[in-house]
Chain A
Amino acid sequence: MLFKIKSLSKKFGKTYVLKNINLEIENDEKIVIIGPSGSGKSTFLRCLSTLEETTSGEIFFQDIKLNSKNTKKIQGKIGMVFQNFQLFDNLTVLENITLAPVLNKIMSKEEAYKQARIYLKQIHLDKKENEYPNDLSGGQKQRVAIIRTLMMNPEVILFDEPTSALDPEMINEVLALIMEVSKKNITMIVVTHELNFAYDFATRVLFMDKGRIVEDGDKEQIFHHPKTDRLQQFLDNIK
């Protein structure tokens, strides 16, 4: 088991944003999380990646309890792709991709460069390796960010609305790369509003509302046979 989440709650100030979430996530699952704005999707991912401390409850990652003491043990194993890319503007594309694996001594600089170039070629950005992020389009930035995460050989990658900051014509190139990555033996959890993509990609779909996981099932069930009115309404609104 990859993640075991036990009665996870999170509050900001006085309001609970996540309420008693219990969930188990197996290796290699491809999970999509859907839900209305403010339902806690981002906060949930941020708790899984330890960017946010939990208020109560526990999260185990490969039997390691996630807390500030164990950050070293999970170093780079839980990758994250952000809505607004978060590439490092002071570094070139190649440096962005190779910074973490080299500094963390996962690879030598030569190995990292070699691996990075293989990836860059796959996404047809090999000619851009010496350019800076500001010279790339949004879609290119996000694809570089995905590769940067892959370079750490993570067990799981969390995607928080990876295409919602992109112009429409760039969405597909990013989704295509995510589909490509999903062929690997790697667990992926994607928060997205792209339902067509979700349908192609997911082996499991979670519907969140008001800080709870309201439905949890395969895509057939979630998209075609919702059990709750809330999910039905959400799907009607989004279509």
Chain B
Amino acid sequence: MEQFLDAFYKTFIYEDRYLYFLEGLKYTLIIALFSCILGLIFGILTSVIRDYHKQTNKLAILSKICDIYVYIIRGTPTLLQLMILYYVVFKTSTISPIIVGILTFGINSGAYTSEIFRAGFDGIDKGQREACKTLGLNYLKTMKHVIFPQALTKIFPALGNEIITLVKETSIAGYVGIVELIKASDIISSRTYDYFFPLIVSALVYLLLTYLLSKIMKLMERKLNHAI
């Protein structure tokens, strides 16, 4: 028991070590939030370009580029993408690792999000687009007012999963020197030679985060579904 308390003390209290965790959590949250936003933007943009090409045969080259982007990102490990961006692309720049992290996870999540939206657009009865066409609505108006809102409702659970995956994946940011939650717990373990508390606490924090996220998504989903 005494040992247990001692480990707890060393992990959290001594030298205000709990601040490490808070700091780590802060970066985890920042990276997750901004890369999630970036991922949504990339995902929506690329999926709409690909859909536009599919419907109208225009923008062939741009659409091909989007295809290749999705293909490459989905075909390589996230850690590799992070390292390439950090050690190769931004090797000589003084850009903050946090930004590199946000970019990596944003670009990565964008590819998966793109596929989710694509499946959503494809899942809408093509009669809906035909109805829009006979009403004189062009592609963008049709997408904005009819296809996108309906697709969003359908893909919402998948989108929620992707966001949760993203939050968990940010844990590899420690590899390029970002002190996010896992890295913070690692630092503390290396000082206390105790792994139990730091790791358990990290796990609990992640669980809490993903629990809250799925709750929020459920609430939003209910709101969306209510409209329909």
- Judge: A and B partners, yes or no: yes
Residues of A within 8 A of B (CB): 49-51, 71, 75-80, 82, 84, 86-91, 99-100, 103-104, 132, 134, 148-149, 152
In B95-154, the 8 Å CB interface with A consists of 125, 127-128, 130-137, 141, 145-146, 149-150, 153
Residues on B with C-beta less than 8 A from A132 are 227-228
Place the interface of chain B in its size category.
Answer: 10 to 19
- B128 in contact with A88 (CB, 8 Å): yes
B151's nearest neighbour on chain A, judged by CB, is A90
Could you tell me the distance in whole angstroms from the C-beta of A122 to the nearest C-beta in chain B? 20
Q: When chains A and B are docked, how far (Å) is the Cα of A104 from the Cα of B142?
A: 12
In B199-228, the 8 Å CB interface with A consists of 227-228
Could you tell me the distance in whole angstroms from the C-beta of B54 to the nearest C-beta in chain A? 16
A78: contacting residue among B134, B149, B153, CB under 8 A: B134
Closest 6 CB pairs of A and B: A76-B136, A75-B136, A100-B135, A86-B131, A80-B134, A90-B149
Q: Quick one: which of B133, B136, B145 has the most chain A CB within 10 A?
A: B136
Overall SS of chain B's interface = helix
Q: A76-B134, A77-B136, A88-B131 are in contact. List 6 more A-B contacts (CB 8 A).
A: A79-B135, A86-B130, A88-B128, A91-B145, A91-B146, A134-B228
Residues on B with C-beta less than 8 A from A99 are 135, 137, 145
Q: When chains A and B are docked, how far (Å) is the Cα of A204 from the Cα of B125?
A: 33
- A88 in contact with B136 (CB, 8 Å): no
Residues on A with C-beta less than 8 A from B146 are 88, 90-91
Residues on A with C-beta less than 8 A from B128 are 86, 88
Residues on A with C-beta less than 8 A from B136 are 75-77, 100, 104, 152
A104's nearest neighbour on chain B, judged by CB, is B136
Q: When chains A and B are docked, how far (Å) is the Cα of A100 from the Cα of B142?
A: 10
- B125 in contact with A86 (CB, 8 Å): yes
A103: contacting residue among B131, B137, B227, CB under 8 A: B137
Q: When chains A and B are docked, how far (Å) is the Cα of A71 from the Cα of B55?
A: 15
- A100 in contact with B133 (CB, 8 Å): no
- B133 in contact with A51 (CB, 8 Å): yes
A145's nearest neighbour on chain B, judged by CB, is B131
- A82 in contact with B131 (CB, 8 Å): yes
Q: When chains A and B are docked, how far (Å) is the Cα of A49 from the Cα of B135?
A: 10
Pairs across A and B, CB under 8 Å, 7 listed? A49-B134, A76-B134, A79-B135, A84-B127, A86-B130, A88-B146, A89-B228
Instruction: Contacts A90-B149, A90-B150 given; indicate if A152 touches B133 (C-beta within 8 A).
Output: no
Q: Quick one: which of A78, A79, A89, A91 has the most chain B CB within 10 A?
A: A89
Could you tell me the distance in whole angstroms from the C-beta of A49 to the nearest C-beta in chain B? 5
* Interface mask (B138-175 → A, CB under 8 Å = 1, otherwise 0): 00010001100110010000000000000000000000
Residues on A with C-beta less than 8 A from B135 are 76, 79, 99-100, 104, 148-149, 152
Q: When chains A and B are docked, how far (Å) is the Cα of A17 from the Cα of B149?
A: 35
A82's nearest neighbour on chain B, judged by CB, is B127
B125's nearest neighbour on chain A, judged by CB, is A86
Residues on B with C-beta less than 8 A from A149 are 134-135
Q: Quick one: which of B131, B133, B135 has the most chain A CB within 10 A?
A: B135
